[in-house]
């Protein structure tokens, strides 16, 4: 079932500036977890604010469960949209206890029903023993959980989370990510996460939407976004990538690293750039190899090698962290492309 639809939603903050959100169209299914990924300023927060009802679109429609929330002649205020929101800074009420924070949106319930719901939700996020603490006496991760509990307490149809883990340490971030996902899946809550972290977007999401300058460049599964990026921007934003020039021939796409299949059906004679990920390229040291190692980046679990080809083009190859070769080593490089993705030369 379709829970949310955006139809050509546009929002411009100033007449002399490009729109912050530009003709955004997408649908989100009930129970789905979506992430919006994109660089700072691409319109992620504005998109969430438009969905929540904190901003009014200049044009287009926001639809929840087939009911128009914002659109020509129609406006439903945020508190009537059934949406929970978790912001980057948590925005807990400092003068209220954990239980009071979580119970804040539950005034429609009677006293004992409210107490029971707060208990349930605190148990769900593992904070049942912290009910009477104040926010300042909690760790970052605990505050994050309270914010999530508060957003989940009214059982919203949809929850929006704007870079919810960005104030946490790397360790805690990974742990909270898993925990939050477990809670969302357990409660069947539809969620949209905003992040500029590709790994986070990929681990959490059923589908990832990549935004650039207010426009949705691609919305698809993490695997498809990574292996079949729709645009050069997506290709470069969702992981390391190199582009090698190629010429389309009857045999396939001829490049310095061999001839690749032409599944996209490019015309013979066309000049293209072939996308190469570091995991597509392997090499072995060989005195007569065509490549030279120009740099090694130690990444902990892997070594990323930068290789120079005879034309001067650089490509990257990821290897296990135990294989260490010196700069200047001659190598024979090979590209094994499972997914051949090409872009037009000018793109």
Stretch that binds Mg ion, among 36-44, 75-83, 175-183, 328-336 (CB under 5 A): 36-44
Stretch that binds ligand ADP, among 44-52, 153-161, 166-174, 291-299 (CB under 6 A): 44-52
Determine if 45 is a binding residue for Mg ion (CB under 5 A). yes
Among 22, 24, 34, 43, binds ligand ADP (CB under 6 A): 43
Distance between CA atoms of residues 190 and 29, nearest Å: 8
- Give the contacts of 110 (CB within 8 A, at least 6 positions apart): none
Structure tokens, 95: 């003068």
Looking at the chain, how many residues does it have? 347
Give counts: helices (H), strands (E), the chain. 8, 21
Determine if 212 is a binding residue for ligand ADP (CB under 6 A). no
Determine if 13 is a binding residue for ligand ADP (CB under 6 A). yes
Least distance (Å) between residue 211 CB and Mg ion: 11
Among 2, 8, 41, 155, binds ligand ADP (CB under 6 A): 41
Which residues from 252-291 bind Mg ion, rule CB under 5 A? Answer: none
Least distance (Å) between residue 41 CB and Mg ion: 8
Distance between CA atoms of residues 13 and 202, nearest Å: 30
Determine if 40 is a binding residue for ligand ADP (CB under 6 A). yes
Distance between CA atoms of residues 1 and 4, nearest Å: 9
Stretch that binds ligand ADP, among 36-44, 121-129, 247-255, 274-282 (CB under 6 A): 36-44
Stretch that binds ligand ADP, among 41-49, 169-177, 178-186, 319-327 (CB under 6 A): 41-49
Helix or strand holding residue 203 (H, E): helix 198-204
**Contact residues: ligand ADP, CB under 6 A:** 13, 20, 38, 40-46
**Contact residues: Mg ion, CB under 5 A:** 44-45
């Amino acid at each position: 079932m379709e829970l949310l639809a955006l139809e050509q939603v546009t929002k411009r903050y100033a007449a002399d500036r490009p729109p912050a959100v530009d003709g955004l169209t997408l649908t989100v299914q009930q129970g789905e977890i979506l992430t919006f990924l994109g660089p700072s300023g691409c319109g992620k927060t504005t998109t969430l604010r438009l969905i929540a009802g904190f901003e009014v679109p200049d044009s287009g429609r926001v639809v929840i469960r087939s009911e128009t929330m914002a659109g020509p002649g129609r406006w439903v205020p945020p508190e009537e949209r059934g949406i929970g929101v978790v912001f980057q800074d948590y925005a807990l009420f400092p003068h209220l206890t954990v239980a009071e924070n979580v119970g804040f949106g539950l005034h429609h319930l009677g006293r004992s029903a409210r107490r029971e719901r707060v208990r349930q939700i605190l148990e769900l996020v593992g904070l049942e023993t912290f009910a009477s603490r104040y926010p300042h006496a909690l760790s970052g991760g605990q505050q994050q959980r309270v914010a999530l509990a508060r957003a989940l307490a009214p059982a919203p149809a949809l929850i929006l989370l704007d870079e919810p883990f960005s104030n946490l340490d790397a360790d805690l971030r990974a742990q909270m990510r898993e925990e939050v996902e477990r809670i969302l899946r357990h409660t069947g809550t539809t969620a949209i996460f905003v992040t500029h972290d590709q790994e986070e977007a990929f681990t959490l999401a059923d589908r990832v939407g990549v935004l650039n300058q207010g426009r949705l460049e691609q919305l698809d599964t993490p695997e498809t976004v990574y292996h079949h990026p729709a645009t050069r921007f997506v290709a470069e934003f969702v992981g390391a990538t190199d582009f090698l020039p190629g010429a389309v021939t009857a045999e396939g796409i001829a490049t310095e690293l061999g001839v690749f299949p032409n599944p996209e059906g490019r015309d013979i004679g066309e000049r293209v750039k072939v996308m190469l990920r570091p995991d597509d390229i392997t090499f072995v040291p060989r005195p007569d190899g065509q490549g030279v190692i120009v740099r090694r980046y130690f990444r902990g679990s892997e070594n990323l090698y930068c290789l120079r080809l005879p034309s001067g083009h650089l490509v990257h190859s990821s290897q296990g962290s135990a294989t260490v070769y010196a700069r200047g080593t001659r190598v024979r490089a090979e590209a094994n492309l499972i997914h051949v993705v090409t872009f037009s030369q000018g793109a």
